[in-house]
Each structure stands twice: as structure tokens, then as C-alpha cells.
Amino acid sequence: MVEPGERGATRIADRVVAKIAARAAREALRVGAVGAVGAVGAAGAVGAADVGLADGLADGLTDAAVARPNAVAVVRGGVARIRVAVELGYPSDIGAHCGAVRRRVIERVGELTGMEVPEVVVTVERLHVPRWERPEQKVRRGRDRVR
């Protein structure tokens, strides 16, 4: 009989690790945006570090910003190096958001793949400024504009 360790190997593609990382980044940002109580159902279990950050991260994040993390992963010999690009609301605590994303990505990739994640580079690509418009100030388009 062939020993279990000699039957074959499991290889997890870079793009699979990248998808896990992007989902984990989205979870981390949702925890901050929604708050610890509301995020538990949407994002799964919430770590103690995330709960502490949740109160201070609700400033300026929207679902559109949370839905857009993008990740790239390079896997070599059971070690994953990951780059995550995020969009945040303005104003917000950028350092706290990036730290939460970094911790969540390391945790989830490690849990789901068993890989070591020594490096997660988080890049903030865009800040979303909330638009405060009154209904009477909206610009009309087309033939309604000229009367």
C-alpha cells in the first residue's frame, strides 16, 4: 500500500490564493464599515482585533468601496506573497484599514490553504469622497436641461 504522503500532491494556484485574499480584504473592510455586530453574519467570524477596530473604521466606507479589493498572489513552496489593492472612503483611518486587511488576509489564507504568508502589501488605490447633493441642485440631462 502506498503511504498517504506519497500518493500525490495538492497544488493551489496563485489565482486561487489571490481570490481568497481579495475576499478576506473585503471581509476586513466590511467589519470596519458595518461594525462588529452587523458584520458577523455577513463576513463570518470576527477576530478580537477586528472587533476593536470596528468602532473606529465606519468613517466613510461604502459597499462600493468594500466590494472592490483586488489581489495578486505569488506562491512558491508553500509560501504566499500577496499584494492587495483597496479603495477606501474619505476621510478614514487609512493605517487602521490597511492593518485590518493585512491581518485578515494572513489569517484566512493560512486557514484555508495552510500556507505561510510572510508578506501582504496593501495599496490604497483610491479614496472615495462622499457626494452631498441636494435634490434641487442635481444637473438635468438631455432636453430637460433647456427650457
Residue 33: predicted pLDDT: 59
Neighbours of 76 (CB within 10 A): 9
- For the cut 50, the answer to whether the pLDDT of residue 59 exceeds it is no
pLDDT surpasses 80 at 147: no
Q: Which residues fall within 8 angstroms of residue 74, CB to CB, at 6 or more apart? A: 14, 80, 81, 82
Position 146 confidence tier, pLDDT thresholds 50, 70, 90: low
**Are the C-beta atoms of residues 71 and 19 closer than 8 Å to each other?**
yes
pLDDT in tens, 80-100: 999 999 999 888 899 999 999
Distance CA 116, CA 105 (A): 11
